[in-house]
Amino acid sequence: MIISIASGKGGTGKTTVATNLALSIESCVQLFDCDVEEPNVHLFLNPVIHKKEPVIAPVPRIDLEKCTFCKKCMNICRYGALAVLKKDVLVFENLCHSCGGCFEICPENAVMEKDRSLGDIEHGSVKGIAFIQGRLSIGQVMVPPIIKKIRSYTDPNLITIIDAPPGTSCPVIAAMNKADFILLVTEPTPFGLHDLKLAVETVKILGIPCGLVINRVGIGNDEVNRYAEKENIPVLMEIPFDKKIAQIYSRGEMIIEKMPEYKTKFQNLFKKIAQIVGKKEGGK
């Protein structure tokens, strides 16, 4: 089972939910930190890193001696990564999505490949959890290939928990796509509700069942609950706006270890998710 933990906005508590949920399950779990622009799961779990590998993507390099400047490569590129001039071809590597169209269409075989390093992936473990995190290199902007590389290590025999990036853009889609369940973490504030609605619309397009964790309950109003009821989205867990929880988080510690009653709450959260996924699978 693959559970992707997402949110419409940053700072709602995705990592808090992802790490405590993974630890509460205790075994047969792998945890992926797919927030590759600012991974922070490692700050809470302190995993032992066993291996590090680069994420490489091919980008075009033009042989100007062969090129006839026919513009076929430029015309096929939907991302505008190529600009053919009278005597030159400009390649904008940060726009390239490594689709390979320019390599295939060039009639003169003037388009060649060169490697571009996007970032790194680290493999590790902590407390029986298999851990993988990605890290985007400074100056790079292409996030989805790193997330897809992380997800290529999904073990179907394990429960996979994905800490997705915030928002609703391409990196989030890469982290949510083909998951069995999307757990949306939000907060009961106007900003939280606004961005939650965007996230829910994204999940609807993907056609994946979802549920809510409402964090910091008590600081806002009940508009998120009303919206969830209207959209028939189950609220699976509520975490109160609690000074003790905030202090635990600020020290980089785990809630379930400092407040043992929350271990049962996160275990119940997982059971609810498993029941929803089981009903969906049974209805097929």
Per-chain mean pLDDT for the chain = 95
Q: Mind listing the pLDDT tens digit for each residue in 143-160?
A: 999 999 999 999 999 999
Q: Say how far apart CA 260 and CA 109 lie, in whole Å.
A: 64
CATH assignment at residue 249:
3.40.50.300
State the burial class of residue 80 (Cβ atoms within 10 Å of its Cβ: 0-12, 13-18, 19+). exposed
Mean local confidence (pLDDT), 266-271: 98
What is the domain range of residue 75?
A: 64-109
Domain count, the chain: 2
Band the pLDDT of 44: cuts 50, 70, 90: very high
* Confidence (pTM): 0.92
- Asked if residues 25 and 159 have their Cβ atoms less than 8 Å apart, the reply is yes
Whether 59 is covered by a domain: the verdict is: no
Q: So what's the pLDDT on residue 7?
A: 93
Q: So what's the pLDDT on residue 18?
A: 97
Domain check: are 152 and 278 in the same one? Answer: yes
Whether 114 is covered by a domain: the verdict is: no
Domain check: are 242 and 185 in the same one? Answer: yes
- Asked if residues 149 and 86 have their Cβ atoms less than 8 Å apart, the reply is no
Q: Mind listing the pLDDT tens digit for each residue in 10-27?
A: 889 999 999 999 999 978
Q: Mind listing the pLDDT tens digit for each residue in 77-87?
A: 999 999 999 99
- pLDDT of 200 higher than 90: yes
Mean local confidence (pLDDT), 124-129: 95
